[in-house]
């Protein structure tokens, strides 16, 4: 089996996603109603189907957007270097959409899902499958952990924080693990 080697990634897709997220974040600071228009509310999904994608660009606060965008930058650059921008974007958006589907099916009907975490967990799940032994530092731990442990530990820890959409995280993680398995079998090529 031939494996694609790592190449210096083009970060254009990542910077574009980060820019959209910050523009929407600033808009929500000006008008909080945007959160309810773009956020995914399970009960309203049939009347607002676009929210399964737009919720990925809405964040609830400064630390929410900063954590998601920093993780997107680091996971995204590494993953693009392995699989290319096209496959990266496919995994990102499919992970976010599957996260939204899990949220619709498993969350309370009047709750709201916002944030890119489901899509980012898809990237993390993919990396955990194709580069499981990669060592990463997780603040505040002073020693590096294998990536797969960091991803799973992050999922479980975040799942116990009130108000966190663990359902979307789970959907993204499932998509990422499946995509990573396929990529590994195909030598890092999705199509």
Domain coordinates in residue numbering, the chain: 12-185
- Catalytic positions, please? 117, 169
What's the CATH class of domain 12-185? mainly alpha
How far apart, in whole angstroms, are the C-alpha atoms of residue 175 and residue 121? Answer: 9
How far apart, in whole angstroms, are the C-alpha atoms of residue 33 and residue 29? Answer: 10
pLDDT tens per residue, range 75-116: 999 999 999 999 999 999 999 999 999 999 999 999 999 999
Query: Average pLDDT in the 129-148 region?
Result: 89
Q: Residue 77's pLDDT is what?
A: 95
Answer whether residue 2 shows pLDDT above 80. Answer: no
Report how far apart, in Å, the C-alpha atoms of 146 and of each of 14, 24, 32, 55, 100 are.
Answer: 24, 34, 39, 30, 28
CB atoms within 10 A of CB 67: 17
**Confidence band of 5 (pLDDT split at 50, 70, 90):** low
pTM for the whole structure: 0.91
């Amino acid at each position: 089996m031939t494996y694609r080697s790592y190449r210096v990634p083009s970060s254009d897709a990542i910077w574009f996603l980060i820019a959209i997220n910050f523009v929407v974040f600033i808009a929500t600071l000006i008008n909080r109603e945007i959160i309810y228009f773009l956020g995914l509310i399970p009960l309203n999904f049939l009347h607002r189907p676009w929210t399964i994608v737009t919720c990925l660009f809405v964040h609830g606060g400064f630390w929410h957007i900063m954590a998601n965008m920093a993780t997107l930058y680091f996971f995204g650059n590494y993953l693009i270097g392995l699989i290319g921008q096209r496959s990266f974007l496919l995994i990102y958006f499919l992970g976010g959409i599957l996260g939204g589907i899990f949220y619709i099916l498993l969350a309370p009907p009047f709750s709201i899902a916002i944030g890119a975490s489901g899509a980012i967990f898809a990237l993390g799940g993919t990396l955990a499958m194709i580069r499981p032994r990669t060592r990463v530092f997780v603040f505040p731990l002073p020693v590096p952990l294998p990536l797969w442990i960091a991803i799973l530990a992050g999922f479980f820890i975040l799942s116990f924080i009130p108000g966190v959409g663990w359902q979307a995280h789970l959907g993204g993680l499932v998509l990422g693990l499946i995509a990573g398995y396929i990529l590994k079998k195909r030598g890092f090529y999705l199509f």
